Every structure is written in structure tokens, then in C-alpha cells.
Amino acid sequence: MVEPMISRIWSVNEWGPLQEIILGSPAGALLPSMADVSQRNFDRLSAAEAALTVCGPMPAQVIEETHEDLDGLESTLHQFGVVVHRAEGLNGTDPVHSPHWVAEAESAINIRDITLIHGDLVIDAPTPTRGRQFETFAVRDLLSQTAQGPQWLVAPPRPRLLDASYDLDRPRGLNEVEPLFDAANCVRLGRDVIIDINNTANQMGAQWLQRVLDWHHGAGVVRVHPVSLSPDHIDVIVVPLCEGTALYNPKYVDPQQLPACLQGWNLVPAPPMVPQVYLTGSPKASNWIGLNVLVINGEERTVIVEERQTNLLRLLERLGFHPIPVRWRHGRSWGGAFHCVTLDVHRLGTL
């Protein structure tokens, strides 16, 4: 069976009616060594957690059960008429080389993390994690063969990721050596994009993103709002559900300090997450990974939620949403759940 071609690249927010999506792949996954300063910068483990760090191939049980859970997610998306594409896996045994360093690749499971789509523009984000420099190759063929081809931009200049970019003595933050950010630091609200400045994004990265969106859409059309809320990715920190309603993580967010573009919204604190186990020695995410939901259609208020998150399921029902419980067993082992492991390439919506 020949997989259908992506019909169009277009996505400007997190809640428009979902048409087509790419699922990540756990194949070939590796747990990278903490000898890599960029990996230590991302994980920021406590001494006790660092002592439990496991390196090498991802446990076979995690990979096998994740394949099963991805099949279940795909089946659910099909029920709502969403066309699903699958990313290629990576070979975690192949090191990533630079003139300045050698690092270990991780996986292509959290496919959203370093691919930012805004409108018909695809940005290969300048991730600060060395082992992820070529992770977008997992979707390269899919995006290149789109029926209505996207405009594709690899963040220039490609970062050198020298040791000088990292300061592990600071509790949070990258040095301002070169533009750096992950796509998952950004939340898209149409004409507004919020970017969280922390261990995985710096101010130079936010400034570069503003210049690129000005170039693509026209000066002043899209506004980039830098904030500093959390240690890394924003998709368990500020979670839009539909236009005008968003969840926020009460551990990190004072809603009064959010940008003006959100001040007229119904901002709802997320409930405590149901604890989850992990099989990777130390966790790749906190229990807040349960907040990593995927909106199918904000207009119809349908949202995919990890099935064990009963507190969140009940809250969404009280808010008038229709949460769809789906199994996802290893969010803390991967450091990602439904938003992280998907890349919505075609959502209806305008600026």
C-alpha cells in the first residue's frame, strides 16, 4: 500500500480542525550519554537522578509498547477523518558529527520538537541539543513530496553548538552566543507566537524567529512574544484548547504575567497529573507530561488526552470539551506525549 502524499502544508495555531498529521517513530531509539554538555543542559538532572542515568538502546519493552500505542493513536485519529503519515525511524547507533564535536542521536519519536510550521513555512529549528541536529531527516521525504510544496527554511546560520553556549551553573538559560531554540518552545496563536526562553531557547533565537516571520508573512503581521516560564518546552506549560481558552501549568505560570495576547482568554489552571512510571533509570519528563494533549478540533472541542489522566479528563468535561482518552504508557520514558510525538502539517485556520 502506497502512503498518500501530504496534500498541503498549512498550520497557524494549535486548535484548528486537524486534517493531516505526522506521527513520530520510536525505531532505533537511544538514551544518550550525559557526557554531552548539550544533553546535560537539556536534562538538568539532580545528582540522585544523574546517578541513575541509563545510556544505550531504549528498552525493548518501551519501543514495542510505543509502537502499539502509536497504532492506537492513529486509529483514533482516523475515526475523526484525520489523514495520518508516519515518520521514518533513526539509527541511534550512528553518531552525529560536527567539526567541533561528536554526539549520539536520540530518536525520531518527539517529531514536533524541532520542526516549526507557521502557515506554509517549515522551519528546521536551531536546536541546542547536539544529537538532534539531523532529526528532521525523519520527515524530510514526507514534507518534500507534499502536493502543494512548502517553503522550507533551515535556520541560518546552522549553530556550531560550542561549549560556550552552555552554562550549567545557571539554574536556567542558554548563553547568547548564537540563535538557538526548539520548535517546542513555541506556542502558535495565529498572529501571535509565544516563545519560552530557557534551557532550550535564547533571546537571539527569539529575535531570529521574529525576523523570519516578518520576512515570510510581512513585517508586523506575526508578533513573537518572549517569556521565561519553564526549564524547557512550553507544551506542558501553556496549552491552548480552542480560540479563547487555554490550560496553564500552575507550577510555573502566573497567568497575570502571560503576554497581552492571552489576557482576554479563559485561562484555566491544570489539575494535578496522575503519576506515571518510567523505564529509563531517570525520567525524561516530569508527571506534567500528562498535560501534553493534542487538540483534534477546537471548534468541536475534541481533545486527545492520556487515558490515565482522570483529573484532566473530568476538568475538560466540566469546561464543555469532549476529551478522547487514548493509551500512552511511556510519556516519562520518552519525554513526550501526544503533542510532542505528532506534527500537525495541515490544520484549517487563518491568521
- For 18-347, which CATH superfamily applies? L-arginine/glycine Amidinotransferase; Chain A (3.75.10.10)
Mark whether 186 is an active-site residue.
no
4 half-sphere exposure, CB direction, 13 A CA radius: 10
Give dist(CA 336, CA 289) in Å, integer: 6
Confidence of residue 47 (pLDDT cuts 50, 70, 90): low
Residue 330 grid cell: 511511556
Mark whether 78 is an active-site residue.
no
Please report the DSSP string for 91-120 in residue order: -TTSEEE-SS-EEE---BSSTTTTEEEEBT
pLDDT at 343 over 90: yes
- Determine the distance from the C-alpha atom of residue 285 to the mean position of all C-alpha atoms in its chain, rounded to a whole number: 12
Give dist(CA 89, CA 74) in Å, integer: 17
CA torsion, ordered 21, 295, 195, 117, to nearest 10 deg: 20
Q: H or E segment at 20?
A: strand 18-23
Please report the DSSP string for 147-190 in residue order: SBPPEEEE-SSPP---GGGB-TTSSS-B-SSS--B-GGGEEEBS
Any residues with CB less than 8 A from the CB of 219 and at least 6 apart, and which?
none
Give dist(CA 275, CA 279) in Å, integer: 14
Catalytic residue among 233, 330, 339, 346: 233
Q: Are strands 151-154 and 192-196 parallel, antiparallel or unpaired?
A: unpaired
Cα distances (angstroms) measured from residue 266 to each of 7, 16, 240, 248, 269: 34, 17, 10, 10, 10
- The mean-pLDDT minimum among 113-127, 153-167, 328-342 falls in 153-167
Catalytic residue among 36, 196, 235, 340: 340
Give dist(CA 343, CA 351) in Å, integer: 19
Q: H or E segment at 328?
A: none
- The mean-pLDDT minimum among 45-49, 87-91, 149-153, 248-252 falls in 45-49
Mark whether 254 is an active-site residue.
no
Residue 313 φ then ψ, to 5°: -60, -45
DSSP 290: G
Q: Is the dihedral of CA 92, 150, 180, 192 positive or negative?
A: negative
What are the pLDDT digits (tens) for 306-331? 999 999 999 999 999 999 999 999 99
Mean pLDDT of the chain: 93
Assign 38 to helix, strand or coil. Answer: helix
Q: Are strands 342-347 and 18-23 parallel, antiparallel or unpaired?
A: antiparallel
Assign 41 to helix, strand or coil. Answer: helix
- Count of Cβ atoms closer than 10 Å to residue 16 Cβ: 23
Its pTM stands at 0.95
| Residue ranges of domains in the chain | 18-347
State residue 153's pLDDT score: 85
What are the pLDDT digits (tens) for 172-205? 779 999 999 999 999 999 999 999 999 999 999 9
CB 7 within 8 A of CB 340: no
Catalytic residue among 182, 196, 232, 235: 182
